[in-house]
Structure 1
């Protein structure tokens, strides 16, 4: 038999669960293996709500420092930023395994300093036009005089890349769907969608 106090307890648990789900975030994380530095990863992955970014530092049998990165279930976080359930195996020696919450946050884990501040932003950058706006999973550190660009070309396909200020601004006025911006990973969608039938899935955050 359910008592009044039991019902109140169940309601409190339900509310807490709803709050937890509402606060869940999808992080965009670096992903790859055997990189000499975290900044050398040029691919990202859009993690699920219960996942966080991770970075593993290890030493190879040749004495080289290498890194693995990707998404990991948040239950693997122990104390602080430390993570267990490592992907590093013998004969490599694990030095550091850290998890973090935030886009590209692994770039500054395990004692690394993150991306340089004297360059342009870190942007989505695909070397060829794509058919859906969320198909670009490669990134690049832009030059200081460049912005993150996103626009639909004359063939109706998306171009996502670092662009000089002048070219980016011109795309904003000539393309049916474009964005020019200078913050991290900001070029995943357009600011002025004037065309119809633009093939975007709308699954990635902007």
Structure 2
């Protein structure tokens, strides 16, 4: 491809970014490595950025640099600049900079490339990756820590058998998938947005409309629900919102649904939506409230 043709390609891409918001790419992100295979960090680009790779000759040898770069900078000065000793190229696509500047095996094809960050408090903040083996999949696994009873998310490569069995185990606590439970086999697939998920260990749990949450008892105890509803009975101090008109609002059968989901279980998962419980007070911002205690398993 000639330089003028490359400029035309990037000009078309830049025009598309002006008309439509560009997708945020995930790119290798390392300041000095020997090859893309040695780069285990990634970054998410801004909407006007693409992935780049620079290969530089230094006093210490060849240096590989990866990251995000302005698409406009790529279109003007970067694409196609190559010599025997250095190279600067850009591309559009997740992890595509592993294959720039003549690299043919930047990422192997033995298995998927997965996020790999161990236990973290959120499900989508990982910036480390790992190349999995052929018989492995990417896993995102939520769990509750035994000491602090906090919700954490683990990301890594995992055997498909173990991954799928762990999802079945977490599903036994509640109907449906736990937020974030994933077994998948494509690059960077073990990521989910569970930012609105909360956890309450005992007492009075509040889950605002549109969010999800766990309630849990310590090992050896089970949940005993004394009252629960989806609606609103409190003023704006609980789940504050501009649209609050009804303070005597309880969805019919919401107690039964919540009680059936949580009672006599160590842990349960609830989502506060009209789709789940109906809309008992249209126009008012609602929430789930669950009053519960943890009782000893007899």
TM-score for both structures, normalised by structure 1: 0.73
User: 1:82 maps to which residue?
Assistant: 79
User: Bigger relative contact order, structure 1 or 2, given CA contacts below 8 A and separation 6+?
Assistant: 1
Matches within 5 A, 1:1-206: 20-62=18-60, 64-78=61-75, 82=79, 95-113=86-104, 114-117=106-109, 119-126=110-117, 128-155=118-145, 156-175=151-170, 176-177=178-179, 178-189=181-192, 196-197=212-213
Residues 18, 106 of structure 1: alpha-carbon distance in 2 compared, 3 angstrom cutoff: closer
Distance in 1 separating the partners of 2:66 and 2:167: 34
Alignment RMSD (CA, Å): 2.8
What SS is found at the alignment partner of 2:20? helix
Residues 150, 65 of structure 1: alpha-carbon distance in 2 compared, 3 angstrom cutoff: same
Q: Report the structure number with the largest CA radius of gyration.
A: 2
Residues 131, 21 of structure 1: alpha-carbon distance in 2 compared, 3 angstrom cutoff: farther
User: What's the CA shift for 1:80?
Assistant: 9.8
* Structure with greater proportional strand content: 2
User: What's the CA shift for 1:116?
Assistant: 1.4
User: What's the CA shift for 1:143?
Assistant: 1.0
Distance in 2 separating the partners of 1:115 and 1:143: 12
Gaps of 5+ in 1: 1-16, 85-92, 199-206
User: What's the CA shift for 1:105?
Assistant: 0.4
TM-score for both structures, normalised by structure 2: 0.52
Q: Structure 1 stretches (4+) deviating beyond 6 angstroms?
A: none
